[in-house]
């Protein structure tokens, strides 16, 4: 690259170095393509720097402190002192290690790294603006482009993230002291994960949600143990409300919440009759979802189309409506998952290289890192039936798992959905400690076209949580050993 008026070129331009973009760039480099990766902020994107990784680091750290302070039943008596600044520093060290690794991997695979902001000038050209005084800009021509610009937190009216008491998820992960009280707006996966983190650190937490339950979109039986654990942590919930404004109130703030106009059930809208709420707190965390970063790229100059929510529409090969421009990750639509973006990034690179690759979402897992964790993959029972399958299900409760009992974590279960006649595994739902790890076996089963008999006849080590997967398959077949069969 030459800064100034000189135009340079590349085979593949990748815009955005998050899990979708850097994976696409590395894979393209492995396929002997000339690749340029442009990133305006930090290698690793939101996931590694401000999302998946730092949040899981804080979840792990707070679990250590909370578990140690609540283990009297095991004969352990402790009162851990939490140094929040030290915890955040450790989290930052984890992030630095991973983001530094991403940069090294890109370079090792021949990826040209360029810091700056890319804006399309036309369907074969971008302008790269460099931050910093006197850095200027340059022009880059490309044969193929992969847009991987990710997403950002949604702001709601009257709650600007520029205001000091108003926190985005990114802000919440960098607090160096534990707030005495916190209002969380939104009971989705981000809101519930962070509500649990701060409750375990001793914060008085109130969650405001416009619907009538936590984790919209997940089956009631999966989220019931999560809601119960939140109740045990003294998290308060105000369902059927939307936060409307905030004001300073002494040393803290007062958040006003109005009844949702069309609140309040996952399955349909019903009016909620309730009074306005006034909630006092030290901070307010807004976690109502994320939106694609597509409005700053000049996509219209390249002829790339977006839908009414700003997502770039793509086909099964990650192509946009412009044949040589691809989109992957959050900017390409739901589900907004890092691993989904990485899979799409690999597909885009392989398609550009002439490989017969395509995206397959049938075995795409989703995980919520609440307490306990929730993980799903494939179809739910109702989805399978709607698709025309005759189904059979099997379930194994963790209260019958020796390993779960030895961990003092017996809330939850593993559920498998299968096609009845041949037993092909169609989907699974898990609520359990380490559900994020357990779901991989069932994702593999779906990908390979495995049957209930395949899973049940695979010997699982004892005592492990993974035995619950085997027992759920056996239960669907009618011969589970450690639970009553249906």
| Distance (Å, whole) CA 54 – CA 60 | 10
Cβ pair 35, 148 in contact under 8 A: no
Structural Rg of the chain based on CA atoms: 24
Residue 122 phi, psi (nearest 5): -160, -170
| Distance (Å, whole) CA 410 – CA 431 | 10
DSSP E strand stretches across 194-276: 204-209, 236-239, 241-249, 252-259
| Distance (Å, whole) CA 398 – CA 222 | 13
> Helices 84-108 and 19-30: crossing angle, nearest 10°?
30
- Does the annotation mark 130 as catalytic? no
The active-site residue, picked from 144, 460, 462, 482, is 462
Cβ pair 218, 335 in contact under 8 A: no
Following DSSP, what letter does each residue of 63-102 receive, concatenated? HHHHHHHT-GGGT----PPP-HHHHHHHHHHHHHHHHHHH
| Distance (Å, whole) CA 296 – CA 275 | 40
Q: Would you please indicate which residues are annotated as catalytic (active-site) residues?
A: 462
């Amino acid at each position: 690259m030459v800064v100034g008026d000189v135009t340079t070129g590349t085979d593949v331009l990748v815009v955005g170095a998050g899990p979708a973009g850097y994976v696409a760039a590395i894979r393209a480099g492995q396929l002997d393509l000339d690749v340029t990766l442009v990133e305006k902020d930090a290698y690793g994107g939101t996931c590694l720097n401000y999302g998946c990784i730092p949040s899981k680091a804080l979840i792990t750290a707070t679990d250590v402190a909370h578990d140690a302070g609540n283990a009297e039943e095991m004969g352990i008596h402790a009162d851990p002192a939490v140094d929040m600044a030290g915890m955040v520093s450790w989290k930052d060290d984890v992030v630095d290690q991973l983001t530094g690794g991403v940069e090294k991997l890109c370079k090792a695979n021949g990826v040209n790294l360029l810091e700056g902001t890319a804006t399309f000038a036309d369907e074969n050209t971008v302008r790269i603006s460099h931050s910093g005084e006197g850095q200027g800009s340059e022009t880059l021509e490309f044969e193929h482009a992969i847009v991987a610009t990710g997403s950002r937190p949604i702001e709601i009216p009257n709650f600007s993230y520029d205001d000091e008491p108003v926190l985005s998820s990114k802000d919440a992960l960098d607090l160096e002291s534990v707030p005495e009280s916190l209002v969380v707006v939104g009971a989705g996966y981000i809101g519930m994960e962070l509500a649990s983190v701060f409750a375990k650190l001793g914060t008085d937490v109130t969650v405001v949600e416009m619907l009538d339950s936590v984790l919209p979109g997940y089956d009631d039986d999966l989220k019931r143990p999560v809601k119960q654990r939140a109740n045990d942590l003294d998290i308060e919930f105000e369902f059927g409300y939307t936060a409307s404004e905030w004001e300073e109130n002494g040393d803290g703030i007062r958040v006003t919440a109005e009844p949702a106009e069309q609140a309040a059930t996952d399955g349909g809208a019903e009016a909620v009759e309730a009074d306005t709420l006034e909630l006092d707190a030290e901070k307010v965390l807004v976690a109502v979802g994320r939106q694609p970063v597509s409005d700053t790229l000049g996509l219209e100059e390249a002829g790339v189309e977006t839908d009414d929510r700003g997502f770039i529409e793509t086909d099964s090969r990650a192509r946009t409506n412009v044949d040589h421009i691809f989109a992957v990750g959050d900017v390409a639509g739901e589900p907004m998952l890092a691993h989904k973006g990485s899979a799409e990034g690999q597909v885009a690179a392989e398609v550009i290289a002439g490989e017969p690759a395509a995206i397959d979402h049938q075995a795409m897992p989703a995980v919520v890192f609440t307490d306990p964790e929730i993980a799903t993959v494939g179809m739910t029972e109702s989805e399978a039936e709607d698709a025309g399958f005759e189904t059979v299900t099997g379930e194994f409760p963790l209260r019958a798992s020796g390993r779960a009992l030895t961990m003092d974590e017996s809330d939850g279960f593993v559920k498998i959905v299968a096609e009845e006649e041949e037993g092909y595994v169609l989907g699974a739902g898990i609520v359990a400690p380490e559900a994020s790890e357990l779901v991989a076996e069932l994702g593999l089963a779906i990908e390979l076209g495995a049957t209930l008999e395949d899973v049940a006849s695979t010997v699982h080590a004892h005592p492990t949580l993974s035995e619950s997967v085997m027992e759920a398959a056996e239960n669907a077949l009618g011969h589970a050993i450690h639970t009553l069969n249906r």
